[in-house]
Structure 1
Amino acid sequence: MSTSQGRTGPLGLPEWDRCAVMGVVNVTPDSFSDGGQWFDPELAVKHGLDLVAQGADLVDVGGESTRPGAVRVDEAEELRRVIPVVRELAAAGVLVSVDTMRAGVAERAVTAGAALVNDVSGGLADPAMIPVVAAAGVPFVVMHWRGQSIDMNNRAVYADVLGEVVAELRAGLDRAVAGGVAPERIVIDPGLGFAKTAEHDLTLLAHLRSLRVLGCPLLVAASRKRFLGRVLAADTGGGPPPARERDAATAAVSAIAAREGAWAVRVHEVRASADAVRVARAIESAAMTRTAGTAPAGTGTAQ
């Protein structure tokens, strides 16, 4: 696998020769992106299988909305939503990630077959999370996070968003390693949309390569988020399009993230992003071939 873009993934997961695609299954009644479309466990499992058929390399299952202003559900309800879906997808051979801030949910999900823990709080929301992940020996996503969804917009204050996000991610990485998580199992996520304005999100996307200083695989989760709606609204002069009408914009970010060395992109609509990362990889391969001086003759001929 090429590592020219820093794309090597975490220990414990397969290696792909391109940016991986993580499909999203929200087992919630109040997701900003799909409005509870997959709240029924049977529908959620079917949707996860459909995402794999459309090109997802792994599927991220979550039972708690983290949209701005969301109120937390209790652990028993989160377990009821998540564990049956994780179990059925894993039994079907799907590579499953669990999206949770609770150690108890993470532990049960790993037992049910989850291969990755994706914690948007990076272990800050539950002090037991890092010890549980360390004991399980699974990869761990450390996202940049400043507090719960109910008031995170109030925390979107930065003098230097890139520098502060890098510093806070480094602290999260150090905290996880100190707690026993192997460094080679850690993935970082800049937390687009979490305690960030649209301008903050765009700045971070413009400087993804700067996050490589942390030495970890990078997950980019831009799918259908508010900043894309605001970009599209500014272009049309109207209001932001609904979340489900932001998939083309999401695929554009997926292509950019892939070219900038992201290990994976997390998306709701898989097919367009799966195509985007494959095209990005083909372009990267062509660039490497040209640099090596082995480009075929007649490259200026139209095809």
Structure 2
Amino acid sequence: MHSTHAIPLPNGQTLRLGPMPTIMGILNVTPDSFSDGGAHNLIDAAVAHALAMIAEGADIIDIGGESTRPGSTPVSTQEELDRVIPVIEALIAAGVTTPISIDSHKPLVADQAVQSGAVLINDVHGLQRDPDMAAVAALHRAGVIAMHWDVARDPDKPIVDDIIRYFERTVALAEAAGISRTSLVLDPGFGFGKSLSDNYAVLNATRRLTNCGFGVLIGTSRKSMIGKVLHNEPSERLAGTIAANVLAYANGAHIFRVHDVKPNRDALRIAQATLYGPSTERG
């Protein structure tokens, strides 16, 4: 079954994780994201898409201004700021109270994003690339989503063991910076420095990760791990994404980072009803 977690956020809200699946809607404000690059990189389009995802049931909006797809071109700190900050400010000005996450590995971007209204920092390097990232999160008391991406890992070692060791380092860094363990969510980083077999080994071992004592985020949406099995394009990977998410949910995962909010939410609510009993309450 699901562990429960109460993650304090800097705006006084609390992100509660447990049996209810938490849906994180992806908002890429980049021209080169692997799946929807360029679709939402204008402020009005980005805000409209965020509001549409919230209407479909997104519990978190995750905003990213730099693509991490293989072969993507890095962007400067200023360019990333120019992409994400106006969108965060526009969402806050529109009265959005849904928690906003900033998907960035740059401490200055995370700092400015939280000051503009974001409440979660989603770091693809798990606080291990730049020591200032942990300091920024601690300063603002932001929630932290720490992803596994170990570019120096030994591919001959079991991937799940490697992920757990990596997160032990992340937790130590967080605690040394003054970040509470209750503020951390772990993301095994599907597709980042992993073979196809690695990705499915991690998915199959979701329960080992959820037993580590933290909330767990699953991010398989439209990724190549699905396309390589089904031999299809990113826009055709909804069914595969749903299958991966339902399997992970059944093994205790909490947050599901997706492009397609409503169909994933509906599928996960059916999985919840199966495990915990149905509810007829709307929401």
TM-aligned CA deviation for residue 286 of structure 1 = 3.0
Structure 2 residue aligned with 1:65, among 59, 64, 67? 67
CA distance in 1, matches of 2:175, 2:74: 27
Q: Is the 8 A contact 2:105 2:133 kept in 1?
A: yes
Residue 257 of structure 1 corresponds to which residue in structure 2?
A: 248
TM-aligned CA deviation for residue 126 of structure 1 = 2.2
Is 2:230 the partner of 1:232?
yes
Per-residue CA distance 1:64-122 (angstroms, 9 max, x = gap) = 00011222100000000000111222332232111000111111111111011101111
Structure 2 residue aligned with 1:270, among 261, 269, 281? 261
Structure 1 residue aligned with 2:30, among 24, 28, 50? 28
Residue 192 of structure 2 corresponds to which residue in structure 1?
A: 194
Provide the TM-score with structure 2 as the length reference.
0.91
Matched AA of 1:68: P
CA distance in 2, matches of 1:177, 1:250: 33
Per-residue CA distance 1:156-211 (angstroms, 9 max, x = gap) = 72421111111111111211111111110000000110000111010000010101
CA distance in 2, matches of 1:96, 1:271: 18
Match of 1:66, SS state, is coil
Matched AA of 1:243: P
Residue 45 of structure 1 corresponds to which residue in structure 2?
A: 47
TM-aligned CA deviation for residue 9 of structure 1 = 4.5
CA distance in 1, matches of 2:105, 2:191: 17
CA distance in 2, matches of 1:66, 1:252: 24
Per-residue CA distance 1:252-294 (angstroms, 9 max, x = gap) = 112122221112000011111111111111011139xxxxxxx
Q: Is the 8 A contact 1:25 1:47 kept in 2?
A: yes
Structure 2 residue aligned with 1:145, among 146, 149, 153? 149
CA distance in 2, matches of 1:75, 1:281: 40
Bigger proportion of residues as strand: 2
1:50-199 → structure 2 map (5 Å cutoff): 50-91=52-93, 92-93=95-96, 94-147=98-151, 157-199=155-197
CA distance in 1, matches of 2:145, 2:160: 19
Choose 277-286 or 132-141, whichever is displaced more. Answer: 277-286
Quote the RMSD (CA, aligned, Å).
Answer: 1.6
CA distance in 1, matches of 2:154, 2:89: 37
Structure 2 residue aligned with 1:244, among 208, 227, 235? 235
CA distance in 2, matches of 1:73, 1:184: 32
Q: Is the 8 A contact 1:23 1:267 kept in 2?
A: yes
Per-residue CA distance 1:209-237 (angstroms, 9 max, x = gap) = 1013421100111111110001112xxxx
C-alpha spacing 1:158/1:168, structure 2 compared with 1 (3 Å): farther
Provide the TM-score with structure 1 as the length reference.
0.85
Unaligned stretches of 5+ in structure 1? 234-240, 288-303
TM-aligned CA deviation for residue 20 of structure 1 = 0.1
Of all paired residues, the percent bearing the same amino acid is 37
CA distance in 2, matches of 1:21, 1:198: 25
Matched AA of 2:130: D
Matched AA of 1:5: H
CA distance in 2, matches of 1:67, 1:270: 21
Residue 5 of structure 1 corresponds to which residue in structure 2?
A: 2
Residue 212 of structure 2 corresponds to which residue in structure 1?
A: 214
Q: Is the 8 A contact 1:257 1:265 kept in 2?
A: no
Q: Is the 8 A contact 2:4 2:16 kept in 1?
A: no
Choose 121-130 or 188-197, whichever is displaced more. Answer: 121-130
Which has the higher Rg, Structure 1 or Structure 2? Answer: 1
Match of 1:10, SS state, is strand
CA distance in 2, matches of 1:205, 1:126: 28
Residue 16 of structure 2 corresponds to which residue in structure 1?
A: 15
CA distance in 2, matches of 1:176, 1:36: 34
CA distance in 2, matches of 1:172, 1:200: 21
Match of 2:201, SS state, is helix
TM-aligned CA deviation for residue 7 of structure 1 = 4.2
Unaligned stretches of 5+ in structure 2? 279-283
C-alpha spacing 1:169/1:145, structure 2 compared with 1 (3 Å): same
